[in-house]
């Protein structure tokens, strides 16, 4: 059975491309920026594109073809209130607080899997309390969680770009998300692993570890 995917805060489709390469059928993308929407429409002509996440419902995503029992939701939710370069309003900020819209859509769809991404500032925002809030909120929704900070420079990208990746799988088996994130940093080994696995679905989701933080 083909997995289905939805990307939230899609931008110009980074997660969408990754899901496609992993053999996942991307059903919908949520992105408010009109210019980014045009890029998405050109790159993914069959994609259902929604605007403001606050106006999107789980029912809409399911009606569009998303199968929660065999699906994944991805999202790099806004970082402006978490970044060390910003005012650090945290999860109460108007932008990074959109994390709660992700929680709402997880509630409404009961998606089997998710991958979230944000800046490392999430770990220290409000002296670490915001990261704790994120993890608790996701666990309270029935997900087993793993998280890890990864740097793009170790995966074939000529740029130092550290990001926190949070992986969740519905149920109480934390070993699944932990295994997804259990990859060795280093572009040579990573690229070799991609070739060996032929960009398998497990390789896609291995973007980011902690069962609480391994």
For the segment 120-160, what is each residue's pLDDT rounded down to a tens digit? 888 888 888 889 989 999 999 999 999 999 888 877 777 78
Per-residue model confidence (pLDDT) at position 138: 95
Domain residues for 108? 4-205
What's the gap between Cα 185 and its chain centre? 19
Model confidence at 119, pLDDT cuts 50, 70, 90, reads confident
Per-residue model confidence (pLDDT) at position 214: 37
105: in domain: yes
Q: Beta-carbon neighbour count of residue 42 at 10 Å?
A: 10
Per-residue model confidence (pLDDT) at position 81: 54
Q: What is the CATH number of the domain that holds 178?
A: 3.40.50.150
Q: 197: which 2 tokens?
A: 């696995």
Per-residue model confidence (pLDDT) at position 198: 43
34: in domain: yes
Provide the total of helices (H) and of strands (E) in the chain, helices listed first.
8, 7
Question: Would the pLDDT of 13 be above 70?
Answer: yes
210: in domain: no
- pLDDT digits over 1-12, tens only? 789 999 999 999
214: in domain: no
141: in domain: yes
Per-residue model confidence (pLDDT) at position 208: 36
Number of domains in the chain: 1
212 backbone dihedrals φ, ψ, rounded to 5°: 95, -15
Per-residue model confidence (pLDDT) at position 90: 61
Q: Which of 30, 79, 98, 102 is catalytic?
A: 79
pTM: 0.80
Write out the DSSP string of 67-102. Answer: -GGGEEEEE----TTTSTTS---GGGSTTGGGHHHH
Per-residue model confidence (pLDDT) at position 175: 81
d(CA 18, CA 30): 16
List the strands of the sheet with 162-170, edge to edge.
Answer: 48-50, 25-30, 4-8, 71-75, 113-118, 162-170, 143-151
212: in domain: no
- pLDDT digits over 163-194, tens only? 899 999 999 877 888 888 887 665 554 445 54
- pLDDT digits over 42-95, tens only? 999 999 999 999 999 999 999 999 999 999 999 988 766 565 555 555 665 556
80: in domain: yes
Per-residue model confidence (pLDDT) at position 82: 62
**Has 169 been annotated as catalytic?**
no
Helix 129-140 and helix 99-109, axial crossing angle in degrees, nearest 10: 10
45: in domain: yes
Per-residue model confidence (pLDDT) at position 182: 81
């Amino acid at each position: 059975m083909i997995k289905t995917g939805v990307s939230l805060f899609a931008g110009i489709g980074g997660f969408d491309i990754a899901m496609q390469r992993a053999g996942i059928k991307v059903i919908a993308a949520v992105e408010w920026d009109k210019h980014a929407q045009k890029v998405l429409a050109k790159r993914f002509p069959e994609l259902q594109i929604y605007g403001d996440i606050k106006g999107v419902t789980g029912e809409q995503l399911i009606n569009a073809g998303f199968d929660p029992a065999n699906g994944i939701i991805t999202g790099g939710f806004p970082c402006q209130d978490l970044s060390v370069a910003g005012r650090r309003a945290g999860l109460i900020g108007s932008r990074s607080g959109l994390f709660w819209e992700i929680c709402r859509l997880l509630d409404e769809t009961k998606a089997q899997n998710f991958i979230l991404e944000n800046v490392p500032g999430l770990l220290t925002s409000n002296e670490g309390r915001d990261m704790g809030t994120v993890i608790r909120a996701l666990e309270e929704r029935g997900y087993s969680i793993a998280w890890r900070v990864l740097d793009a420079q170790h995966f074939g990208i000529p740029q130092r770009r550290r990001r926190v990746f949070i992986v969740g799988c519905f149920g109480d088996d934390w070993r699944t998300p932990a295994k997804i994130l259990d990859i060795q940093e280093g572009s040579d080994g990573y690229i070799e692993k991609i070739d060996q696995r032929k960009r398998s679905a497990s390789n896609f989701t291995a973007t980011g570890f902690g069962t609480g933080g391994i």
